[in-house]
Amino acid sequence: MSKQSNHFTFANEAEIEDLGNGLKRQMLGYNEELMAVKIWFAEGAIGYNHAHRHSQVTYVVEGEFHFNIDGVTKILKTGDSCFIPPYADHGATCPTGGILIDTFSPAREDFLEDK
């Protein structure tokens, strides 16, 4: 990958990508080993189930999310977090609208393909 974000990222300078279907993404910082991403969910938006090789920790900044991790569903609210192990099938729905901070190790190469 051999890419790295600047040492400081300011919210008013970092691009916000519209992913469609009520989802937006902003890269907060990354190198080959670690990545942090801010994700906005519109009311009713769905992060469809998927799996990847990366370890992931997600923090709920605001809103309510129904997380499914390997067939177990839990409701997470503002201030909650979860760990998603590599290759675990996972997804989330957001009935209220909300914001997540996702961290990945190593960084998600697929998020950087067009950067």
pTM: 0.92
CB 32 within 8 A of CB 60: no
**Helix (H/G/I), strand (E/B), else coil: 101:** strand
CATH topology of domain 17-111: Jelly Rolls (2.60.120)
- pLDDT over threshold 80, residue 11: no
CB 58 within 8 A of CB 98: no
CB 88 within 8 A of CB 47: no
Give the pLDDT confidence of 90-108 residue by residue, as tens digits.
999 999 999 999 999 999 9
CB 115 within 8 A of CB 3: yes
Q: How many residues in total does the chain contain?
A: 115
What is the phi/psi pair of residue 95, to 5°? -70, -20
* Mean pLDDT along residues 2-18: 84
**What is residue 1's DSSP assignment?**
-
Give the pLDDT confidence of 57-91 residue by residue, as tens digits.
999 999 999 999 999 999 999 999 999 999 999 99
pLDDT of residue 5: 85
